[in-house]
């Protein structure tokens, strides 16, 4: 019975990440934001805030959080990964400002069903999808066009 194994962890218990001050700092920084940011942007924000976390570690922690589904990851127009803490753990999508990064979380059951049906129709398996809407948010539009109105 259970040959050569530690008492717990029957098969392959994934070890939980340790609670380090760097990990806490990243978590706190994410909590103060409701915008999507790149790893480098978050690193700079933390540095400006006094928290000292190396860039390499910021990359590592964000990737780890993403792997565990604790943050949302998607790609900006340049193909760079951008991160944001999920407010809901369920599957959802985003409407985000390509100028300031502000994001609105969106749920669209109809789109989910459409995607699943479309994939099934063509015999595709192991399906996932990306559905993101990019635009300029009201604040950014207002800022760029103060008063003129043709």
Partner DNA sequence: CGTTAGGATGAGAAGCATTATCAACAAGCT
Partner DNA sequence: AGCTTGTTGATAATGCTTCTCATCCTAACG
Nearer to a copy of itself, 45 or 119 (CB): 119
Please tell me what DSSP assigns to residue 48.
H
| Distance between CA atoms of residues 89 and 50, nearest Å | 30
Q: Is 56 in the site for DNA (CB under 7 A)?
A: yes
- Binders of DNA among residues 2 to 41 (CB under 7 A) are 15, 17-23, 38-40
Give which of DNA, a copy of itself, Zn ion, none residue 144 binds (C-beta under 5 to 8 Å, depending on kind): none
Which residue in the set 5, 9, 35, 55 belongs to the binding site for DNA (CB under 7 A)? 55
- Binders of a copy of itself among residues 60 to 99 (CB under 8 A) are 75, 79-81, 95, 97
In the complex, the smallest distance separating the C-beta of residue 35 from DNA, rounded to whole angstroms, is 16
Cα-Cα-Cα-Cα torsion 96, 97, 101, 105, nearest 10 degrees, comes to -20
Tokens of 52: 């000292």
Give which of Zn ion, DNA, a copy of itself, none residue 38 binds (C-beta under 5 to 8 Å, depending on kind): DNA
Helix (H) or strand (E) holding 95: strand 93-97
- Which residues lie below 8 Å from residue 24, measured CB to CB, with a gap of 6+? none
Q: Is 62 in the site for Zn ion (CB under 5 A)?
A: no
Which residue in the set 73, 86, 100, 119 belongs to the binding site for Zn ion (CB under 5 A)? 100
Q: What angle do CA 18, 19, 22 make, to 5 degrees?
A: 110
Q: Is 81 in the site for DNA (CB under 7 A)?
A: yes
Tokens of 67: 């792997």
């Amino acid at each position: 019975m259970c040959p050569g194994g530690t008492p717990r962890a029957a098969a392959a218990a994934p070890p939980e990440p340790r609670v380090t001050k760097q990990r806490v700092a990243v978590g706190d920084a994410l909590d103060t934001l409701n915008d999507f940011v790149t790893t480098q942007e978050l690193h700079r924000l933390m540095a400006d805030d006094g928290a000292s976390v190396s860039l390499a570690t910021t990359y590592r922690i964000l990737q780890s959080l993403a792997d565990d589904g604790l943050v949302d990851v998607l790609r900006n127009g340049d193909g760079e990964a951008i991160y944001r803490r999920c407010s809901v753990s369920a599957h959802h999508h985003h409407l985000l400002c390509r100028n300031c990064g502000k994001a609105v979380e969106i749920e669209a059951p109809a789109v989910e069903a459409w995607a699943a049906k479309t994939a099934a129709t063509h015999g595709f398996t192991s399906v996932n999808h990306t559905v993101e809407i990019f635009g300029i948010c009201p604040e950014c539009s207002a800022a760029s066009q103060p008063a003129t109105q043709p």
